Chain A
Amino acid sequence: MPEVLTVDEFIADPVEYFDWSLTDMFTMPAEKRNQFQIEGLKIRFEQLRDRIGFLKKLADRDGINSIEKVEDVIPLLFDHTIYKSYPSSLLETNNFTKINLWLSKLTTANVRDVDVSACTSIDSWLDVMDRETELCIHHSSGTTGTVSLFPKAKAELSAFTKLYPLRFQKFGDPRPREVQPKAHVISPSFRSGGSAHFRINDEYFKRIAHGDDDFMHVAFPGRMSADILYLAGRIRAAKARGELDRLELSPTLMSRLQEFETDQSKREERMREFLEEVTTKLAGERVFMACAPTYLWPLAERSLENGKSGVFASDSVISSGGGAKGMVLPDDWKEQVMKFAGVDRLTMNFAMTEMNANNLLCENGHYHMAPWIIPFILDPDTSEPLPRTGTVSGRLAFYDLLPDTHWGGFITGDAVTMTWDKPCGCGREGPYLHQTISRFSELQGGDDKISCAASAEAHEEAMDYLASLQSGAS
């Protein structure tokens, strides 16, 4: 590893810092990692303390003016709800000027001076923001009727996505000569859109398909509209509350929604067709495929039944992650997928929009934290930090050193178990997460304490139930 590189380079562009070597990245010695983490954190705090409005308020309130050890940042971590803390009516009424006022407290990018008063939809607002700022805002899917708006910077996204070609490397091997091999991208989703899993397609196109359209295979060539996603969430919520007639929607949006609902009903079918097509067309080719287990496993099962196995080149990358969403996967589903695809490993990733890292599952079943992520485990109820030694369970929080336009400190809604100091055995350095990760919001259900006061959970359960009735009926 080139010793001359400094901590500034480490936090600005970690993949370059490690010279694109996966093995080097995950064998950074603990001492060096700890030193760079605290130094990097000091740099970010100095850069951002007075430039991020929300951070300044928190730091002023607690009188925090310097960071001496990594734990000092804990009171300054942002709760995951902060990125949807704007009053939801602003989005309902397309008040993007005020949304930008809110956003300006979360990013150093100059969003207040951008004229968004003419924007009449989230899509049109995203277009203006994409065009006129250094941001490429990532929104969440908004299935519950509220949408997170995360001010990711274009430069940040670009530095982060250099991690994707690294998936072609096997941990333990030396740096390959060709660090960004060209491969066919198989993306069973929409080509573009404002949420993370659509935004990423442009990056796949650049980094994996090398800008070659013939190497880009997406299920749906169009754009997934943020407005439609948001509307669908709101309608679901309003239907569930029996307040659908109180929802005011413009006719244009309503007709677009109908298109979306039609698309949704055909989506499963189109997806299956698409996956069949690409597995036939790209037989024997080197591919890069990222696909949820809910599609990947049925594809593998069908193909193997039809005698199709080892369909892709053996140096392909097949990635999966996320929950099975109610589907029961057989214990050996990963082996079956590998057999079908013809690869010797399946890349499983624990990631989130707010974290610029791929935390990949090792052969021992652990998600290893990238060295520029400073993890913390907090007491789920009090948010007090738990010891950074041994094996600890609690709420995952972290500081991501990569971004320099927004604050990288984040408290997740994830219940995790972390081992800090016992080597995993796979050869990777640093702390790692155990495989079982759940959402606190899910863990809190199932209680038989009865109260006559309606809790938010009860309300949400009601909505979920009613929403399921709605989808069952349509």
Chain B
Amino acid sequence: MTTLKTAAKTEIAPAVIRGQIIDTDLVDFGGRNGDLKFRAPDPNSLLGRLPLGNPNRLQDMYSLSMDEVTDYLLSLGKELDIKTNKHLQYALDLTIQTAPMTPPLVRNQYARLPSLFTREEIDDMIGQIGRPYLEDWVLDRTTSTGAKRYVKAFGARAIHIVAGNSPVLSAVTAMRNAVARGDAIIKAPSNDPFTGIAVARTMIDMAPDHPITKHLSIAYWKGGDEAFESKLYQPHNVEKIVAWGGFASVKHITKYIQPGIELISLDPKRSISIIGPEAFDDDASMNQVAKRVAADFGAHNQEVCASARVVYVLSGSDDKGIEQTTELARRAYDSLRKLPEHVSTKPKFGINRDLKSQLDSASLLDDFYEVVGGEDDDGAVIVSKLPEPVDFAPSLTNRVANFVPVDSIEDVYPRIDAYCQTIGIYPEKLVPEIQDRLALAGGQRLVSLGYAGMAATGFGAPQDGVEPVRRLCKFIFREEADLETTPALWKVD
């Protein structure tokens, strides 16, 4: 792997608009706070071409059967092989510099790209919408009066403001768009401006004139560039905006929401794990739980929404419970440091300064906290001695978790809110008892402990309480009356 030194040369992030690569009218972006500086086409120069002004131009997508869509995606998956794909190789070198994750993790994300495009995954995503609904008008209901309802799923013109903390997300977006047969404009994130472009260029190399290639565009502009966005985000240009991201960026986008534009908001989230008292049944259980919980907060270096930050341990909050939780924390910290390199490493820039000072304070407050690890800037576990998370729990990152011993699961529910995405649970037998309560409290994804950082059932699954692939579609229905039996408005008697 070559490491690019960019001091002499400023990298270019071209725009890709419907199969065409655009690398003219370049202006400088980035370069702040040690970011990689890069050049990209002046967004204003793209405005005329970027939106699909006439929705009728989506017709070419509807000449494709879902088998053809599947074949395209299967081929794309094979092409997205980092060992042979020069666009990905180029993007990987740059993404290593822009990503919050460390090089082994970024490499692993790139390496798993083909696995997103298997037949099993594609079928699952199609199944989320329903293959017949994508293919044709489906007879959905026949009423007692003989009226028939037919439904068909159509794609829409959508802007995708994707998160940049995981490089696979641009590829997932391309796949979702193909399955929904829509027209996607991806706004490249500043912390990952290159991966999506590499995917789009691979599509061009593979099938330059294919409708799926021609309905994917990607460009970089600075999020919040109001002059540009207010022109692009118009109902005659787009029907949906899929916004990943922080509160400020989503809030900012709501300015453009008006009749004719729908917002699909994939808000920022954080996650937790819940560990039942069975963890302490014997030494082997404790070791297993330690390994699994370390994976929940360690995977992706705790940079993603699914990463556990607070871990509730149903050990009891008395001295014995605190002692047990502390022992579990020690073993979890050891396990964290032994996680495979492609799953988790020492954080890229150590522990964030503000978090580090909070951690330092906590380590002085031994009446309230026990801090395990944290000295060499490589993750830590803070054990709360009061049955509550640390006040700075929202800031936990860089492999720093907070273990909270509690007396009962009832103490956990009030701590869950709409920001809570994934909940890792141990043991499995606890699940039936708590799953509905967790969902009502705000939790959005329940997983077996240790699997928070995996998309074990793929990206076709619901996300953040919504079904993004279905939401990308417009469900159009047709009613067909039986003039003999369906009551008519014009009949006088």
Contacts and interface: CB of A to CB of B under 8 A. Distances in A.
A451 B191 contact: yes
B165 A456 contact: no
Interface in A448-466: 448-459, 461-462, 465
Top 7 closest pairs, chain A to chain B, by CB: A448-B223, A454-B268, A450-B245, A79-B357, A458-B246, A85-B361, A452-B305
A449 B303 CA distance: 13
A132 B322 CA distance: 35
A327 B353 CA distance: 32
B367 A450 contact: no
Contacts of B190: 448-450
A57 B418 CA distance: 39
Contact of A451 (B246, B251, B365, B390): B246
A465 B307 CA distance: 26
Interface stretch (B138-146, B195-203, B391-399): B391-399
Nearest to A58: B364
B367 A455 contact: no
Interface in B278-312: 302-305, 307
A154 interface: no
B211 interface: no
A256 interface: no
A450 B357 contact: no
Given A242-B418, A452-B244, A458-B247, A105 B268 contact: no
A98 B163 contact: no
Most buried by B among A101, A242, A445, A452: A452
Given A85-B361, A459-B247, A450 B162 contact: yes
B189 A449 contact: yes
A454 B394 contact: yes
Given A81-B357, A98-B367, A243-B417, A451 B165 contact: yes
A456 B394 contact: yes
A241 B419 CA distance: 10
A454 B191 contact: no
B419 A459 contact: yes
Nearest to B302: A453
Classify chain A's interface size: 35 or more
Contacts of A380: 353
B242 to A, nearest CB: 12
Given A81-B358, A85-B361, A452 B249 contact: no
Nearest to B271: A453
Contacts of B395: 455-456
B424 interface: no
A87 B191 contact: no
Given A87-B388, A452-B166, 6 more contacts: A242-B418, A448-B249, A452-B245, A453-B270, A457-B246, A458-B246
A102 interface: yes
Interface string A51-87: 0011001100000000000000000000101100111
A474 interface: no
A454 B367 contact: no
B381 to A, nearest CB: 17
A338 B354 CA distance: 41
B391 A454 contact: no
Contact of A456 (B245, B302, B392): B392
A461 B267 CA distance: 13
A454 B305 contact: yes
Nearest to A454: B268
Contacts, number: 139
A34 interface: no
B368 interface: yes
Nearest to A382: B353
B interface, over-half SS? loop
Given A89-B388, A458-B247, A453 B414 contact: no
B453 to A, nearest CB: 12
B411 interface: no
Given A98-B367, A102-B367, A455-B394, A449 B164 contact: yes
Q: Which of the listed residues B266, B367, B418 has the most CB atoms from chain A within 10 Å of its own CB?
A: B367
B414 A450 contact: no
A453 B307 contact: yes
A459 B354 CA distance: 16
Interface residues of B, number: 56
B268 A455 contact: yes
A425 B359 CA distance: 43
A474 B312 CA distance: 38
A446 B368 CA distance: 35
Interface in A179-198: none
A121 interface: no
A242 B223 CA distance: 27
20 contacts: A58-B360, A79-B357, A81-B354, A81-B357, A85-B361, A242-B418, A380-B353, A449-B189, A450-B162, A450-B190, A450-B246, A451-B165, A451-B303, A451-B304, A453-B304, A454-B246, A454-B269, A455-B246, A457-B246, A461-B251
B418 A451 contact: no
Given A454-B267, A454-B419, A448 B222 contact: yes
A87 B361 CA distance: 11
B155 interface: no
Contacts of B392: 456
Interface in A420-474: 445, 447-459, 461-462, 465
A101 B367 CA distance: 8
A452 B304 contact: yes
A449 B161 CA distance: 11
A473 B162 CA distance: 33
Contacts of A453: 165, 268-270, 302-305, 307, 397
B391 to A, nearest CB: 5
Contacts of B161: 450
A53 B364 contact: yes
A450 B304 contact: no
B224 interface: yes
A226 B365 CA distance: 24
B195 to A, nearest CB: 14
Nearest to A83: B361
Most buried by A among B161, B247, B357, B367: B247
Interface string B312-327: 0000000000000000
Contacts of A456: 392, 394-395
A457 B223 CA distance: 17
B151 interface: no
Given A450-B249, A458-B268, A81 B163 contact: no
A58 B363 CA distance: 10
A264 interface: no
A420 B165 CA distance: 41
Contact of A454 (B222, B270, B361, B364): B270
Given A448-B190, A456-B392, A87 B368 contact: yes
Interface string A89-108: 10000000010011001000
Contacts of B305: 451-454
Contacts of A462: 247, 251
B362 interface: yes
Given A81-B357, A241-B417, A454-B269, A461 B248 contact: yes
A381 interface: yes
Contacts of A381: 353
A180 B304 CA distance: 61
A450 B244 contact: yes
A309 interface: no
Given A87-B391, A455-B268, A461-B248, A450 B361 contact: no
A131 interface: no
Interface in B471-491: none
Contacts of A461: 246-248, 251
Given A449-B191, A465-B251, A102 B365 contact: yes
A452 B163 CA distance: 6
Nearest to B350: A382
A258 to B, nearest CB: 26
Nearest to B162: A450
A465 to B, nearest CB: 6
B100 interface: yes
